[in-house]
Amino acid sequence: MPFTIGLTPPIKRSDLEYPTEDVTFAYLAAINKVSSYESNDVKWYFVLTNDEFTDKAVEGYGEMEYEGLIARYVDKGNYYFGNYTPAVSTADVKLYKRVGGSGTELGSEAVDIGDDDVYLNKLSCSGSSIKLFRVDMATPKIDVTDTDLANGKYGCSPVYWTYTRFTIGVVYLRPPASHVPKALAIIEAEIVGSGTFEDPYRPDLARQLDEHPQYGKIDKLAVTWGAFDYKKEHAVMLIMITGDNPYQAGAIDKQKEHASKKGLKVLSPPRDYFEAIEQYRKLKADYPNWLAGKDNYAYQALGHEALECFQVADFYYGELIEHKTHYSQLKRVPDWEMDRTLNRWRDRLQKVDVLHEERDKHVKKLTEVLKKGW
């Protein structure tokens, strides 16, 4: 009897690795790695990666009024979204999240832009750090900490073959960015909004409206800020302010006075890592359901890139070994992508030359994740 082994099973394209950083969406479309998705919230559609990722960035030239960049898209009601809203007074660049269908403004840049202004933009996720860049791709305009979405698809909305909207040929999937600016003030703010796309949950900050010959109404008390692990169950939002008003200095002090008069927390930014840890421990008593840890807080407050590695190690250890809040979701990330992401962060951690004891603890965390698998 002849010995046969049958036909060789085909290798599925979906099982093959492919470049996932510094590649255009045009390339990804050519290898069938992007798809279009209908959106509930905006007029057009999303063009997103087929695969889900944890730490990535999406970058492209475009005007983002009513459209924008998408990160960690799970479904129509759960994703991060960066866009422009020129009709708003001196808060025209915003970073949102949609979770469970509810909308929250996580941060905004104190700037006025024209309706047709086109800029280079980038939305980046690494661990629990979410960043939105405009013009300058080295330092984000907005950086926030959020633990609601651990992974998902990346892309933009909409995509046209023109230069006035996002163009698929010049939208890139990028590696995540690490640098963030140091906080200039840390305050609490009461929440306004109903949670819809048009009226998201957002901090109730002091305002001073005035007229401008180019932009109409402007806000001379607007500041650039980003939230720290806000949940819709919270009556207040802790925000870190990283930029003063573009028209007149002193808006940061006015926002601190506004919070203080309402009996809300006003904190001086920590001077070093250990002071940041102490601040976090005191705050945690009032925010017991924070998932973001001490290193998340230290990173957003101080901006040191070494702390980015610490918070990312905590993110993966917590999600894959410890509390496993998004474990089933993270299982949708391709194994080869998760493996090289974890190894990249461990390699970066091993090169950290400060806070050696903390560095070694976090290296062990990632080593344990890699050993146990996911």
Q: How many CA atoms lie within 13 A of 6 on its CB side?
A: 2
Cα–Cα distance measured from residue 150 to residue 158, given in angstroms and rounded to the nearest whole number: 24
pLDDT band at 316 (very low <50, low <70, confident <90, very high): very high
- CB burial string 108-136: b at 16+ within 10 A, e below: bbbbbbeeeeebebbbbbbbbbbbbbbee
Residue 9 lies in a domain: no
* Three-state secondary structure call for residue 55: coil
In terms of Cα–Cα distance, which of 134, 153, 130 is closest to 143?
130
- Please indicate, yes or no, if residue 216 is contained in any of the structural domains: yes
pLDDT tens for residues 18-65? Answer: 999 999 998 999 999 999 887 665 556 788 999 999 999 999 987 666
CATH number at residue 26: 2.60.120.560
Q: Tell me, yes or no, whether 38 lies in a domain.
A: yes
Cα(165)–Cα(157) distance, rounded to whole angstroms?
A: 9
Domain count, the chain: 1
Establish if 13 belongs to a structural domain.
no
Model pLDDT, residue 198:
84
Residue 12: per-residue pLDDT: 60
Tell me, what's the pLDDT at 117?
82
- Is residue 11 a part of any domain in this protein? no
Judged against a pLDDT cut of 50, whether residue 3 lies above it is answered with no
368 pLDDT above the threshold of 90: yes
Q: Does residue 196 form part of some domain?
A: yes
Rounded mean pLDDT of the chain? 91
Spatial separation of the C-alpha atoms in residues 73 and 85, rounded to whole Å: 21
CA angle (337 as vertex; 334, 339 as ends), nearest 5: 110
The type of residue at 17 is: E
Structural domain includes residue 1: no
How do residues 99-129 score in pLDDT, each as one tens digit?
998 999 999 999 999 877 888 999 999 999 9
Distance CA 73, CA 75 (A): 6
In this prediction, what percent of the chain has a pLDDT beyond 90?
79
Structural domain for 29, as ranges: 18-372
Helix, coil or strand: residue 326? coil
Is 3 contained in some domain? no
Residues 339, 312: contact at Cβ < 8 Å?
no
pLDDT at residue 304 is higher than 50: yes
User: d(Cα 55, Cα 72) in Å, to the nearest integer?
Assistant: 9
